[in-house]
């Protein structure tokens, strides 16, 4: 029933409800509230369920899936061949990962050989490439190098012609002695041979990093130090036999060479006594010193330094006031006195010594009997001294190495096209960026680093440039540099070889005569060593390194982060080596820093060294610190990547989780025979490079469930980086 009620000048109508209607309305409201509550609860449940499902999908998935591609199968075969899974990983992870390394060889060595095979395939398929004018000479050189029948047919005649150009040889009976410094100039400039010292162009390792002529110790053929070699007399007999063999191969009378050979051995032995190890130079703070050519002339007057260097580095304009970098002035002084003392009495013997050394330099272009004679000497001396003999390379490998050296601009470009696809470049840049960003964020956890130093370190990392794979010179080579107009092919392979030596030297000099530009130094694309240019603040990871078994876009992320990622992190850490040296970080907490360094020394000292090896913990400390820090940063970056991206894969039939595969891949980088460790190596033996960082990683202990007391689960750990 509707009623009307007055309200001012207007009226409004109101409908009165019955009790039954009001009860029904109340019930509707209760049901609506209940429905809304249930709907909210259902929505919340759906959201929660989806969140849990998403969490499981992203973080857990259905478990990692096996990678069954061909590249993963090849990697699996390598891991199965090199590892020894019967060894407990918490006790000896090096043997677990590398126990059969004597059979399989070092992964670095295997990769270096594979890169040479890639270059070989390029050189043996010239029709597959679009070549600029003149570049076909690289392929012609390689073919000539491989034509051993023609080289052996020529015999020693091409080298005897070289001897005539040097004034002849008394053993041949046709010697017209040239001035000693004239001979030395010819050796250095025309034949690439440096019998008493080395001279080369290279930027200085300290500010202002300008290119300069550097004078260094020679690379002597046989190291003869009488008091340090228990089989010294036998070594002398083997070397005399080798020199007699050379004379026979050259067509001379070996019965006339006795005094000449003995004098050559005397020169070799004396020069060895003058050599100073590189680490001794560093310990004395004299890696090099700058002197003028005139000052050098006064210290070592037996050498006409201005004429010899001018001939070698023409068209550079040198003068007595030109400064050169000398790495061991005392050696040059002693070498000069030796030559002065014996030059007047034994000029013919000195000529023999020079010719014997020149045979070794030019042996790749000579009859294979010359190379076989030197390999035999190396093997016998190795047996007498306990040193590893010179490796025996197949002919194709020697020819690839020489073609790489002489025709580097052409082969660098072709190698990049063959091996470093855009997808590889993108994946490698993505990996490096993750490693670098993780390192930047990781710096705030470094306990000994003060706020200002941390900010400076973060800025340096942020501003760092990286060249992944090729440098600009390899991608866009100068066409004029590739014409090789100065390379003359033939008539003998030795003459071709010498022409290439001179052409390469001319290119190097022309490059240094150009206005100084950033990043002018070059990293060979088939090389395996990452490099950092201090003046340019540029880091280069060559294409040859970013290859299986260290990196591939199709690998499980655990492999790429454990292998290539740890290599990248190690190079980044080396940028800050100076901070770890005494006085290198005055504002840092020195007490905390020294405590962490001492902790790391003790950690490594507590680990057993491989039999037959010894190392100085204090000498390897910077490398040990980089190894331990690299593993921690690479692992942190890997975890970060897993959070952002789903779908991790593993290697089938290896019975390793993704985290375990990460550690396995880290160790694989270090796999090599510990007995091949160079006593002068500034890095720890490979077993310690594996066990040191792993024993400092709580994550390794957790993922391999290492019990208390196991070698790689020590009671305490360090935190340096």
Q: Write out the DSSP string of 168-180.
A: --GGGT---PPPH
- Among the residue ranges 75-79, 233-237, 498-502, the one predicted with the least confidence is 233-237
Q: Provide the pLDDT for residue 579.
A: 94
Name the burial class of residue 177, with classes exposed (0-12), middle (13-18) and buried (19+) by CB atoms within 10 angstroms of its CB.
middle
Q: Which two tokens stand for residue 678?
A: 């160079």
Q: Provide the pLDDT for residue 199.
A: 97
How far is C-alpha 403 from the chain's CA centre? 20
Q: Which residue has the tokens 């036998």?
A: 234
408 is catalytic: no
| Buried b or exposed e, range 105-129, using 16+ CB within 10 angstroms | ebbbbbbeeebbebbbebbeebeeb
627 is catalytic: yes
Q: Which two tokens stand for residue 442?
A: 């990781």
Q: Report the 10 Å Cβ neighbour count for 15.
A: 8
Of 387 and 350, more confident: 350
Q: What pLDDT digit, counting tens, does each position of 536-561 carry?
A: 889 999 999 999 999 999 999 999 99
Q: What share of the chain in percent tops pLDDT 90?
A: 60
pLDDT > 80? residue 578:
yes
Q: Considering the candidates 238, 367, 408, 571, report the single residue annotated as catalytic.
A: 571
Work out the average pLDDT over 135-147: 96
Span 155-362+375-387 CATH architecture: Orthogonal Bundle (1.10)
Q: Provide the pLDDT for residue 256.
A: 82
Q: Report the 10 Å Cβ neighbour count for 426.
A: 12
Q: Provide the pLDDT for residue 677.
A: 75
pLDDT > 80? residue 16:
no
Q: Provide the pLDDT for residue 623.
A: 94
**Residue whose C-alpha is closest to residue 164's, from 260, 250, 267, 257:** 250
pLDDT > 50? residue 11:
no
Cβ-contact 191, 203 below 8 angstroms: no
Give 182's Cβ-side CA count (13 Å radius).
Answer: 7
Of 265 and 563, more confident: 563
Work out the average pLDDT over 266-286: 69
Highest mean pLDDT among 32-46, 143-157, 643-657 belongs to 143-157
Delimit the domains of the chain by residue range. Answer: 2-60, 69-105+421-469+525-703, 155-362+375-387
Q: Considering the candidates 221, 627, 648, 696, report the single residue annotated as catalytic.
A: 627
CA distances from 101 to 22, 72, 110, 687 (A): 90, 20, 11, 12
Work out the average pLDDT over 132-146: 93
Helix (H, G, I), strand (E, B) or coil at 196: coil
Do the domains spanning 69-105+421-469+525-703 and 155-362+375-387 agree at the CATH topology level?
Answer: no
User: Mean pLDDT in the chain?
Assistant: 86
Confidence of residue 615 (pLDDT cuts 50, 70, 90): low
pLDDT > 60? residue 281:
no
Cβ-contact 96, 87 below 8 angstroms: yes
- Among the residue ranges 159-173, 270-284, 390-404, 667-681, the one predicted with the least confidence is 270-284
pLDDT > 60? residue 283:
no
Q: What is the pTM of this model?
A: 0.84
Q: Tell me how far apart the alpha carbons of residues 607 and 713 are, in angstroms, rounded to a whole number.
A: 11
Of 680 and 550, more confident: 550
CATH of 69-105+421-469+525-703, one of 3.40.718.10, 3.40.390.10, 3.40.190.120, 3.40.630.10: 3.40.390.10
Confidence of residue 224 (pLDDT cuts 50, 70, 90): low
Cβ-contact 308, 197 below 8 angstroms: no
pLDDT > 50? residue 6:
no
| Conformation bin of residue 354: beta by default, left when phi > 0, alpha when psi is -120 to 50 | alpha
Work out the average pLDDT over 354-365: 94
CA distances from 516 to 201, 209, 532, 539 (A): 14, 10, 18, 18
Helix (H, G, I), strand (E, B) or coil at 603: helix
CA distances from 605 to 95, 346, 451, 529 (A): 19, 53, 32, 28
Q: Which residue has the tokens 């295997």?
A: 110
Q: Provide the pLDDT for residue 40.
A: 67
Q: Provide the pLDDT for residue 429.
A: 96
Residues in the chain: 721
């Amino acid at each position: 029933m509707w009623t009307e009620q007055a309200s001012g000048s207007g009226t409004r109508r109101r409908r009165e409800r019955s009790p039954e209607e009001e009860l029904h309305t109340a019930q509707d409201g209760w049901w609506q509230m209940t429905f809304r509550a249930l709907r909210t609860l259902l929505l919340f449940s759906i959201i929660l369920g989806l969140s849990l499902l998403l969490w499981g999908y992203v973080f857990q998935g259905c478990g990692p899936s096996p990678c069954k591609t061909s590249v993963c199968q090849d990697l699996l075969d390598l891991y199965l061949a090199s590892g020894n899974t019967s060894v407990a990983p918490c006790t000896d992870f090096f043997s677990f990962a590398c126990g059969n390394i004597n059979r399989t060889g070092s992964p670095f060595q295997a990769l270096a050989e594979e890169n040479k095979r890639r270059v070989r395939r390029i050189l043996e398929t010239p029709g597959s490439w679009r070549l600029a004018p003149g570049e076909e000479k690289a392929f012609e050189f390689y073919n000539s190098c491989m034509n051993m029948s023609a080289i052996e047919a020529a015999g020693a005649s091409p080298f005897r012609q070289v001897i005539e150009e040097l004034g002849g040889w008394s053993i041949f009976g046709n010697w017209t002695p040239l001035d000693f410094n004239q001979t030395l100039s010819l050796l250095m400039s025309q034949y690439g041979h440096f019998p008493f010292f080395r001279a080369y162009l290279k930027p200085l390792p300290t500010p202002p990093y300008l290119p300069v002529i550097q004078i260094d110790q020679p690379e002597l053929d046989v190291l003869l130090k009488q008091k340090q070699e228990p089989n010294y007399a036998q070594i002398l007999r083997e070397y005399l036999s080798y020199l007699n063999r050379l004379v026979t191969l050259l067509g001379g009378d070996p019965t006339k060479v006795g005094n000449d050979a003995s004098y050559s051995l005397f020169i070799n032995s004396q020069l060895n006594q003058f050599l100073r190890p590189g680490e001794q130079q560093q310990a004395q703070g004299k890696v090099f010193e700058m002197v003028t050519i005139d000052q050098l002339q006064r210290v070592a007057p037996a050498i006409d330094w201005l004429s010899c260097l001018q001939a070698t580095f023409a068209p550079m304009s040198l003068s007595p006031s030109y400064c050169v970098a000398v790495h061991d002035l005392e050696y040059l002084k002693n070498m000069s006195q030796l030559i002065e003392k014996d030059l007047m009495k034994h000029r013919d013997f000195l000529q023999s010594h020079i010719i014997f050394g020149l045979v070794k330099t030019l042996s790749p272009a000579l009859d294979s009997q010359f190379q076989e004679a030197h390999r035999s000497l190396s093997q016998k001396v190795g047996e007498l001294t306990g040193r590893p003999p010179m490796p025996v390379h197949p002919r194709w490998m020697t020819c690839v190495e020489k073609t790489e050296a002489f025709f580097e601009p052409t082969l660098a470009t072709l190698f990049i096209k063959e091996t470093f696809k855009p997808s590889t470049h993108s994946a490698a840049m993505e990996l490096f960026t993750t490693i670098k960003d993780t390192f930047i964020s990781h710096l705030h956890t470094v306990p000994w680093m003060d706020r200002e130093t941390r900010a400076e370190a973060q800025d340096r990392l942020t501003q760092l440039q990286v060249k992944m794979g090729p440098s600009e010179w390899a991608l866009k080579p100068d066409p004029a540099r590739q014409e090789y107009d100065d390379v003359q092919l033939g008539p003998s392979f030795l003459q071709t070889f010498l022409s290439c030596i001179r052409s390469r030297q001319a290119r190097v000099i022309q490059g240094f005569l150009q206005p100084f530009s950033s990043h002018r130094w070059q990293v060979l694309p088939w090389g395996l060593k990452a490099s950092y240019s201090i003046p340019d603040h540029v880091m280069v990871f060559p294409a040859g390194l970013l290859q299986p078994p260290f990196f591939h876009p199709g690998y499980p992320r655990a492999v790429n982060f454990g292998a290539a990622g740890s290599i990248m992190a190690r190079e980044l850490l080396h940028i800050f080596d100076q901070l770890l040296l005494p006085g290198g970080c005055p504002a840092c907490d020195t007490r905390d820093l020294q405590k962490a360094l001492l902790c790391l020394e003790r950690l490594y000292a507590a680990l057993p060294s491989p039999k037959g090896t010894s190392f100085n913990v204090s000498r390897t400390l910077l490398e040990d610190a980089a190894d331990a820090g690299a593993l921690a940063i690479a692992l942190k970056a890997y975890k970060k990547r897993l959070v952002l991206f789903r779908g991790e894969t593993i290697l089938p039939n290896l019975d390793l989780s993704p985290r375990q595969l990460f550690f396995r891949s880290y160790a694989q980088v270090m796999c090599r025979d510990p007995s091949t460790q160079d006593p002068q190596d500034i890095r720890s033996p490979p077993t310690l490079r594996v066990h040191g960082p792993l024993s400092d990683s709580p994550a390794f202990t957790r993922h391999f469930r290492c019990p208390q007391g196991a070698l790689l689960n020590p009671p305490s750990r360090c935190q340096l980086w």
